[in-house]
Amino acid sequence: MGSDSLSILNATKATPIPVQEEDPPNQSTALLSFNTDSSSGPPQKPTTTIVFISLLLITCIALAAAGAFAFLFFSSPSSQTPSTAHIESTARPLSKLRHPVVILISSDGFRFGYQFKTATPNIGRLIANGTEAEHGLIPVFPTLTFPNHYSIVTGLYPAYHGIINNRFADPHTGEIFTMASHEPKWWLGEPLWETVVNHGLKAATYFWPGSEVKKGSWNCPLKFCRNYNGSVPFEERVDTVLGYFDLPSSEIPVFMTLYFEDPDHQGHQVGPDDPEITDAVARIDRMIGRLIQGLEKRGVFDDVTIIMVGDHGMVGTCDKKLIFLDDLAPWIEIPGDWVQSHTPLLAIRPPPGVSPSDVVAKMNEGLKSGKVDNGKNLRVFLKEELPSRLHYVASDRIPPIIGLVEEGFKVEQKRSKRQECGGAHGYDNAFFSMRTIFIGHGPEFARGQKIPSFENVQIYNLVTSILKIQGAPNNGTQSFPQSILLSSP
Neighbours of 478 (CB within 10 A): 13
- For 113, 124, 172, 210, 389, the CA distances from 234, given in Å and listed in that order, are 22, 20, 40, 20, 36
What is the secondary structure of 419-466 as a DSSP string?
Answer: --EEEE--S-TTSGGG-B-EEEESTTBPTTEEE---BGGGHHHHHHHH
Please pick, among 120, 131, 143, 145, the residue that the annotation labels catalytic.
145
CA distance 91 to 485: 8
Neighbours of 289 (CB within 10 A): 16
- Would you give the DSSP letter of residue 215? B
Q: Beta strands 101-107 and 255-260: pairing type?
A: parallel
Burial 336-365 (b: 16+ CB within 10 A, else e): eebbbbbbbbbbbbbeeeeebeebbebbbe
Question: Does residue 118 have an active-site annotation?
Answer: no
| N-term to C-term CA, the chain | 31
* Cα dihedral: 300, 118, 137, 181 (round 10): 80
Catalytic residue IDs: 145
